[in-house]
Amino acid sequence: MTTEPVGEKQVKAFLDLFDGDSDKAIMALRSYQRPTRPKTVVRDTPVLVRFSDVKKTYKLGRQKVEALRGVNLEIHEGEFVAITGPSGSGKSTLLQLMGALDKPTSGVVEVSGQNLQKARDGKLAEFRSKTIGFVFQFFYLQPFLKLEQNLEVPAMFARMRRRQRHEKAGDLAYKTGLADRLKHYPKELSGGQMQRAAIARALMNSPKLLLADEPTGNLDSKNGKAIIDLFEAIRSELGTTVVVVTHDMDIAARADRVISVKDGEVVI
């Protein structure tokens, strides 16, 4: 039986947690280490996301910036995939195209059998509402709404019945550890609780694909780990495909597969 390796960042985090007391830090680290689990690489399920020779060019004044340069990739249903790469490599552009927030300059982006380039804006909005959930680095919770109402916003746009909205919000709050916070405003929640709320909101319409852009960027290591635990649970329990853009290699190591992007091209 093997255990997960402990990195320098983790050691420092535990030392900071126990104010430099090495004995307590070592004891905590030993309890933190746990047997490694084999990765669940899903390859025999249908393809949910397919990029075929996708290029994306932006115009900045008189200059053209090639954000993506002929990307080909496939993501299968039920996978937990991390997209990594340096700033400006094209990671967020990949996510925006997957989420139908933008269209490629050329090539084909297909999600759940839908050619996103050919769809009209109205159809894309409906497609996003029913098929995709978004989680961002910033939580974007409405400060004047209680948590329960924040969770229900996507369902309102999808014209879900009020009773069904309430039941779904309560169920997701329970699954994300927020059942006792439904009547609280965002300012009364911690950073980790707000991010869990953002994830619960993204799951309101039962999307097939959950897209997260640096979801732990504003969280400490403990809360960041808890969010990734939650993503794994969502994939396992709900069958949701999860794609996370991240700079954190500790998070990437938890995914089934890592897609590395550099200079607008997939290198791994």
C-alpha dist (Å) from residue 178 to 151, 189, 194, 252: 11, 10, 10, 26
Asked if pLDDT for residue 34 goes beyond 50, the answer is no
**pLDDT computed for residue 242 by the predictor:** 95
Question: 22-31, 105-114, 192-201: which range is least confident on average?
Answer: 22-31
Q: How many CA atoms lie within 13 A of 149 on its CB side?
A: 9
**pLDDT computed for residue 22 by the predictor:** 55
Question: Which sequence spans correspond to the domains of the chain?
Answer: 1-36, 41-266
267 SS3 class: coil
Distance CA 198, CA 254 (A): 21
How far from chain centre, in Å, is Cα 132? 11
Mean pLDDT, range 148-176, rounded to an integer: 88
Do 40 and 77 contact (CB within 8 A), yes or no? no
What topology does CATH give the domain 41-266?
A: Rossmann fold (3.40.50)
pLDDT digits (tens, 9 = 90+) for 56-113: 999 888 888 899 999 999 999 999 999 998 888 999 999 999 999 899 999 999 999 9
Work out the pLDDT band at 221, boundaries 50, 70, 90.
confident
User: What rounded mean pLDDT belongs to the chain?
Assistant: 83
**pLDDT computed for residue 13 by the predictor:** 54
Specify the residue for token string 């195209």.
97
